[in-house]
Amino acid sequence: MICSMTAFARADRHLEGYSLVWEIKAVNHRYLEVSPRLPDALRALENGVREKCRKALARGKGEVTLRYQQDDSEVSLELNEELVKQLSDVSRRVGDIVQHPGQVNPMEILRHPGVLSTRKLDVELLQNESLSLLDEALEALIDTRRREGEQLGQLIVDRLDGIGTQIEIVKAAIPRIKEAQRERLRTRIQDVIESPDPDRLEQELVMLAQKMDVDEELDRLVTHVNEVRRMEGRLSSVDVGFDADADDESGVVAPVYYLEDKSGDPAAVLEADNWEETSHQALTLAMSELDERSRDILQSRWLAESKATLHELADRYGVSAERIRQLEQAAMKKLRASMEA
């Protein structure tokens, strides 16, 4: 099963006099990076929080926040009766000394520091409850990742099925594409041979060096699809994101890197991408059928980086420039006939 790397989980617990709330926000990340946010009274929990997250999560970037709130409606006040008695006795003694006895004001005594206090917080109990609640929050986070991962897994399967359908469409269209390209190639060669512009011939010969054979690409695409289907089953115990980094050291490659963009007409895309190779093959085959002298004349005149003139070739073969021109034209006709065969 594929697990999503983006998730949110919340767990709360109400105890006597206070409440605890854990919130975990997780996003995709190459490594495991945990950022605990704890109240001052519970700072000592940081190492324990990191350890629990490390055991529960393989990787990802997570903000782990603990909120502690005391319930004022359940605050229990404790009265220091011994201190009250002492303050009351001192008050009466002071009245006797100044010879101005008066009634002791209880509210004045309550304002004295230490007379009233809240129940002392049990830090150890609070820490144990916080860690126990963190386990619930982490479990909720993992469940959320799994639910979203199930949807992503189905999305991957649907895309793989779509790619398989496109592959079959392309395979069925290949004969038609090749025939159309073959006819186009014949027309171009005919135009080039009849054109007096040498630059035009050079351009067209360069165009003939483009790819057309798509069998290898289709086989590779089928292999990718099969590999993604195999990995989809293998990922059942791996916490991996749909769009995880490609260079993850865990050795697991995210499925998004296997999926092809289905936009555009596959037949048109293949026709554009593979024109060069088929044209080059056709030209190479036609050139190989020429005699050595004719092949050298065409290569020297049109394919060499430093092109030879008719007079330079005439000196090389000991004939006239007009004879070289005739041989060149004859070679062009043979080239056209060979490519039309």
Average pLDDT of span 262-290: 66
User: Does residue 36 have a pLDDT over 60?
Assistant: yes
Model confidence at 49: pLDDT above 90: yes
Q: Among 13-17, 50-54, 229-233, 288-292, where is mean pLDDT lowest?
A: 229-233
DSSP for 108-146, written as a single string: HHHTSTTSEEEPPP-HHHHHHHHHHHHHHHHHHHHHHHH
Q: What is the pTM of this model?
A: 0.45
HSE-up of residue 336 (Cα within 13 Å, Cβ side): 18
State residue 237's pLDDT score. Answer: 47
- Give the domain ranges of the chain: 77-118, 152-340
Render pLDDT for 59-103 as a digit per residue (tens, 0 to 9): 889 999 999 887 655 556 677 788 878 878 887 777 777 776 666
What's the rounded mean pLDDT across residues 268-280?
61
14 pLDDT above the threshold of 70: yes
- Predicted confidence (pLDDT) at residue 11 exceeds the cutoff of 90: yes
Q: How far apart are CA 130 and CA 121, in angstroms?
A: 14
Name residue 36's beta-bridge partners: 64
- Token representation of residue 18: 């206070």
**How far is Cα 121 from Cα 70, in angstroms, rounded to an integer?**
10
Highest mean pLDDT among 6-20, 67-81, 192-206, 248-262: 6-20
Question: Could you tell me which residue, 237 or 167, shows the higher pLDDT?
Answer: 167
- Residue 200 scores a pLDDT above 60: no
Q: What average pLDDT does range 272-296 have in this prediction?
A: 75
Pairing mode of beta strands 60-70, 32-37: parallel
DSSP E strands in the chain: the ranges are 7-15, 18-27, 32-37, 60-70, 77-79, 116-118
State the pLDDT at residue 37. 93
Q: What is the pLDDT of residues 144-162, one digit of tens each?
A: 988 888 888 888 888 888 8
Tokens describing residue 262: 């289905």
Mean pLDDT of 258-286: 63
More confident position, 258 or 103? 103
State the average pLDDT over residues 188-201: 60
Give SS3 for 69. strand
Rounded mean pLDDT of 29-49?
90
